[in-house]
Chain A
Amino acid sequence: MLKVLLRSRMEALLSVLTGAGRTKKAQSKGKLIGFAMLMFLSLFSLGTLFARIFEVLAQPLAMLDMGWLYFGMAVVMSFGVMIIGNVILAKYQLFEARDNDLLLSMPIKPIDILLSRLFLLYVLAVGIMLPVAIPALLFWKQPLDAVGWVAFALIFLVVLPLLNLAISALLGWLVHLASNKTRNKSLVSLVVTLGFLGAYMVFSFRLNSMLTTLAANPTLLERSLGAAAPVVWAGRAIAEGRWELLALLLAIAAAAFALCLWLLSRTFIRTATAKGGVAKRVYVERTAKVRSPRSALLIHELRRLWASPAYLLNGALGSFFTLAAAVYLAIKGRSLTASAEWEMMSSFILPLILAGLCYMASLVFLTAPSISLEGKYLWLPKSLPVSSWDVLQAKLRLHMLIALPPLVLVSVVAALVLGYEGQLFLLVLILPTVFGVFSGFLGLFENLRHPNFNWINETQAVKSGASVLITMFAGMGLVLLPVLACLIFSDWLTPVLAGWIMLGLLVVLSVLLYLWIRKKGVKIFEEL
């Protein structure tokens, strides 16, 4: 029975990875390969981020004979990435999967259901960890002995995923219990995810200064890491080929996983079928606030966003980052611009600031899954007396409402901190804002062309649709365009000129996309 369940999980995963589950028709080979390439590209982008970190770390740590620290850090980063990726997923996969009731009604042992779901989480954990582990191995130029190689493979493919499964399942269970007891489930997921992301980002930002301090004082280093002994053991097992440390880690991981499995199997049926313990809200009759149909559609879009942690955290995460960046710049901006490194980079500041602000704009893609999210509710907007254009406009207005105010705020703060005036002030203010508008149009354009109504949970619609991936990568590509142009044509293309050209290009593209949505997009929506 377990084999059948494992096969069905892998089929579901493959259909998500290749986009085969998006349409009722069979996916053509070309589209299948194209979609798989997009998924690979997103993992590759993550890999390049970590590659840069390991490239910087490898040589100095090798010179200091601190291979254990290098691999210890790879272990910490991999584990962090896996935990961030898997906690919320564990909650949905283990306790809130739609087919739990169906499977529990069949002659299947609950432990088999649990194991099949844990297996899927294991595969995903390994998949998301590889972009960290592979660059770590590639940039370490010192030879590893046979035990070191085995230790690397076993730590990254067995120890870390098993520990991650144990912790993710436990945290996912706690998040599920907490959200079951509260009315605002979205808020619980939001707080947990932002908490993890925040902790991880603080750790990443402080990595350099921590390294400098610790490397300068090895005694302090040993003492500091004493509490994180398993990390040191993992690092030493790989770099120094210590098999006894590897055996110890394997034993710890196996014990943690066994304990997690025992706990989950005892509570699985009760947790998976629990209806929640929130007291029933009493209805009090009152006269409602009246809204126009257009406002009602916008408010409805806002409610959908707020009620869906997956939509909020994926589509609007960029706005949270943008707000955080505005606060950070307002507090630290002056000291940042006064530093020596800043002085050295002065000629690159404008293109970097513009690229950074536009990148933040590209991280908000609320419109990209917005048509797919209509899913089973599509009959409602289509049967109500509202025009298709009004429905599409509500989606665009939601994007503008969430994306633009933080962008304007961070742009103003950046321009003030940098002391820009006149056309520079205008450019820093307008370009990211127009980029935000363009991202909204692009997302809707792509989702109208590639809607996906066959999702099982919203996360699937929000994360894995072709429209989301295309919007994300097209946005990133456009961010890099002026920077590359400035580097290639540095003899005549100034950053200011490149900025204005980019602005013109974005305005033209936005107008074209608007016209397409207004005419062809409306027709496509009506025929869905």
Chain B
Amino acid sequence: MLTIEHLTKTYGDTKAVDDLSLHIAPGEIYGFIGHNGAGKTTTLKSCAGILPFDQGQIRIDGRDIVTEPLACKQRMAYIPDNPDIYEYMSGIRFLNFIGDIYRVEPTVRRERIHTYAEMLGIEGDLAQPVSAFSHGMKQKLALIAAWIHEPRLILMDEPFVGLDPKAAFLLKELMHRHCDKGGAIFFSTHVLDVAEKLCDKVAIIKGGHLIASGSMQEVKGNESLEEVFLELEDHDA
């Protein structure tokens, strides 16, 4: 579903991501962990077609993000760590804007908005301007916007930050359902407990380099993910 090969991205003289390769198959929830500034957001933004990169190749369903950006973007959704959503729109206008861009049929769109908004508990707030939304509500709106066109791949940067416990639980449910239907999810997180319980596979990045990746069992063995992460961080330091 998502193939990253030898991705390298530099900012000036600093290599934010260095020769990173990963493969995320359909049906997988892939966690991406690392300390602040390790290169997680840069990798996710490169996959989303937001950031141009220096070397390597990123393919979504076999299509190259550089040569076929629109076809790739049509198949995926991206949620940033701080979803800044057009504050001058109401929630429902924003969702309809997204629906128009992805050409989602009006009846299908209506049904999906109803389903997800009700599930996340913001249906009654959809007529309000986004400027009146709290961080968590914006996060929920961004989740609905991501799911509205039923993408094959969902990229999320710290999706659990700012969500209330019920919404976090529902998001995990949504992620499982998405992957059960053959979709894939690649997300970054600092919440290692969540990653450990939720992910099929995990990758650890440090200073732009991938230092461990594979199935959860392969990476952590009999230890907790937290212990392995801290050991790897210390070992590499």
| CA of A292 to CA of B96, assembled, Å | 11
Give the nearest-CB partner of B157 in chain A.
Answer: A379
Partner of A385, one of B45, B50, B70, B126: B70
Is A283 a contact of B123 with CB atoms below 8 Å? yes
Within A337-357, the residues touching B (CB, 8 Å) are none
Residues in chain A near residue B49, CB distance under 8 A: 382-383
Is B100 a contact of A383 with CB atoms below 8 Å? no
| CA of A384 to CA of B92, assembled, Å | 18
Is A385 a contact of B74 with CB atoms below 8 Å? yes
| CA of A291 to CA of B109, assembled, Å | 13
Interface residue SS majority, chain B: helix
Partner of B73, one of A377, A384, A526: A384
Is A383 a contact of B52 with CB atoms below 8 Å? no
Residues in chain A near residue B98, CB distance under 8 A: 384
Is B84 a contact of A377 with CB atoms below 8 Å? yes
Give the nearest-CB partner of B102 in chain A.
Answer: A385
Q: How many A-B residue pairs have CB under 8 A?
A: 91
Residues in chain B near residue A291, CB distance under 8 A: 100
- Whether A293 contacts B101 in the complex (CB less than 8 A), given A283-B126, A283-B127, comes out as yes
Is B89 a contact of A303 with CB atoms below 8 Å? yes
Does B107 have its Cβ within 8 Å of any Cβ on chain A? yes
Min CB–CB distance A385 → chain B (angstroms):
4
| CA of A382 to CA of B70, assembled, Å | 10
Min CB–CB distance A96 → chain B (angstroms):
12
| CA of A180 to CA of B29, assembled, Å | 45
Does A380 have its Cβ within 8 Å of any Cβ on chain B? yes
Does B15 have its Cβ within 8 Å of any Cβ on chain A? no
Within A370-389, the residues touching B (CB, 8 Å) are 376-377, 379-380, 382-387
| CA of A285 to CA of B110, assembled, Å | 8
Query: How many of A's residues come within 8 Å of B, CB to CB?
Result: 36
Is B110 a contact of A386 with CB atoms below 8 Å? no
Partner of B88, one of A290, A308, A386: A308
Does B114 have its Cβ within 8 Å of any Cβ on chain A? yes
Give the nearest-CB partner of A376 in chain B.
Answer: B84
Within B65-83, the residues touching A (CB, 8 Å) are 69-71, 73-74, 78, 80
Residues in chain A near residue B101, CB distance under 8 A: 293, 296-297, 384-386
Min CB–CB distance A507 → chain B (angstroms):
32
For this complex, 19 residue pairs linking A to B, each with C-beta atoms less than 8 Å apart, are A281-B90, A283-B92, A283-B126, A284-B127, A285-B113, A287-B107, A288-B106, A288-B109, A288-B110, A290-B106, A293-B103, A299-B97, A303-B86, A377-B84, A380-B85, A380-B86, A382-B48, A383-B49, A385-B70
Extra inter-chain contacts (13) besides given A285-B110, A285-B114, CB under 8 Å: A280-B128, A282-B127, A283-B92, A283-B128, A288-B110, A292-B100, A293-B103, A296-B100, A304-B88, A308-B88, A379-B50, A385-B102, A386-B70
Which 8 pairs across A and B sit closest by C-beta, in order of nearness?
A: A307-B88, A296-B100, A385-B73, A281-B127, A283-B127, A376-B84, A385-B74, A283-B126
